[in-house]
Amino acid sequence: MATSLQPVADGVHLASLAPLSMFNSVVLDGPDGDIVIDSGPAWSGKRLARLLRGRDVGRHVVTHAHGDHVGSSAWLCSHTGAPLAMSQIEADDFERGSIAYHAGLSGRLIVPRMTRQRRHVDQRLTEGDQVGSFTVLPQPGHSPGLLAFWRESDRVLIVGDGPTNISNDPTSPRWMKLPASWHHDPAGAVESRRHLAELEPELIVSTHGRPVRGVDRWLDGIRNHAH
C-alpha cells in the first residue's frame, strides 16, 4: 500500500486507505487549501492523517454518504477545521444517521457501520457546483445522491463507486466482483455510469480501486460488472 499521495492527474492525488486501493480519498490541490474527497471507513483516520501531513485541508467533500466513504469525515473535519460538503439529497439523512442506502440486506447491515460519528453538513451540493477545478454531476443509482466530479479541460472524471479496478496499470484494468445488491438502485447505477461515459472521460479516478485510462476500458467494466 502506497505510503504517500500518488499523483494521478494535474493537481489530483490518490490517497490509498486500504490494500488494492479498495478505499481511497482523492486530494485536489487548491488555491484555498486542499480539497479531500471521501474519507474511507471509520478506521482510516490515522492513515489519512499521515498521508495529509504538512498539507492544508480547506474543504472536505464526499461523493455519497455510504459508511465506507464518510466513515472518517467527522474526524477529518474536526482534525483540520475543514467544512463538510455533500449532496443535498443525502445531507439530512447523514446528520440523522440513516444512511442504509442499499437494495440488499448485506449492504444495509454492513456498510452503515463503517461510519460511527456524525457531523453537521456545512454545504449541500447540487449539479453544476464547483469543487476546485471540477464540476459536480449527479450520478444517482448506487446511492440516491451520489455525485461525480468532471473536469472537461483534461477529461478527468472522479467517481465514488465502481466498477472497481484492482490493477495498478490503468490501461489494463482487472475488475473486482461486488454484489449488485450493494447498490440502492442497481439498474439506475448502471444507467448513470453509461451516462457519464458519454462525456468520454480520458481518466476515471474512483474512491474504490485504481484509476482507469480510456472510456472504452471503463465501459467494458460497466458492461461486465454489476457493481
Binding site for Zn ion (CB under 5 A): 66
Q: What is the DSSP string of 81-129?
A: ---EEEETTTHHHHHHT-----SSHHHHHHGGGG--------EEE-TT-
CB atoms under 10 Å from CB of 138, counted, come to 18
Positive or negative torsion for Cα 40, 75, 56, 127: positive
Return the amino acid letter for 128.
Answer: G
Q: Minimum CB separation from Zn ion for residue 59, in Å?
A: 21
For residues 113 and 136, what is the distance between their CA atoms, to the nearest angstrom? 27
Comparison of 47 and 66: residue with beta carbon closer to Zn ion: 66
At closest approach, how far in Å is the CB of 114 from Zn ion?
10
Instruction: Pick between residue 34 and residue 38 the one whose CB is nearest to Zn ion.
Output: 38
How near is the Cβ of 89 to Zn ion at its closest, in Å? 14
In whole angstroms, how close is the CB of 42 to Zn ion at the nearest point?
15
Residue with cell string 455533500: 86
Q: Which is nearer to Zn ion, 11 or 162 (CB)?
A: 162
Min dist CB 46 to Zn ion, Å, is: 22
C-alpha cell belonging to residue 119: 457531523
CB nearer to Zn ion: give 80 or 143. Answer: 143
Q: Give residue number: closest CB to Zn ion.
A: 66
Cα(101)–Cα(107) distance, integer angstroms: 8
